[in-house]
Amino acid sequence: MTETNDQGHGPKARRRCFVVGGVILLLPLLLFIVFLILVLTVFKPKAPQTQLLSATLEGISPRISFPVVNIQLNITLNLTILVKNPNHASFKHGPGKSYLLYQRRPGGGS
């Protein structure tokens, strides 16, 4: 009389179990590595590039006050700026700020 192994605990079944278990353990690791590579390369945020297309002078308003001589000059500029966003996602911006430098020293701002 020959004995049959109905439960499938032979060497082939054991090897198949190790292979399936290894695949189950390596699959999340492989997915994490692919995700990490994508985050560090493709989805890495890059700074938007700005370019000044035109600048026009809209108005000048000088103000002189006495008895202490105080001279103020208000200049209105109309700037057209091109913004190139190399990212896959959009970005939001708020109101801009400008600084006026004269010989590398602050001379005004808004």
Domain range summary for the chain, segments of one domain joined by + = 9-44, 49-109
**Amino acid (one-letter) located at 33:** I
The kind and range of the H/E element at 30 are helix 11-40
Kindly state the tokens that stand for 78: 């109309």
Give the model's pLDDT for residue 28. 93
- For 10, the 3-state DSSP assignment is coil
CA distance 97 to 75: 14
Reported as a single tens digit per residue, the pLDDT across 40-73 is 888 888 888 889 899 899 999 988 888 888 888 8
Give the model's pLDDT for residue 4. 52
- To 5 degrees, how large is the angle CA 100–CA 101–CA 105? 135
As a whole number of Å, the CA-based R_g of the chain is 34
Q: What is the pTM of this model?
A: 0.47
Closest CA to 73 of 44, 94, 102, 53: 102
Give the model's pLDDT for residue 83. 87
Give the model's pLDDT for residue 1. 47
- The answer to whether the beta carbons of residues 47 and 63 sit under 8 Å apart is no
**Per-chain mean pLDDT for the chain:** 84
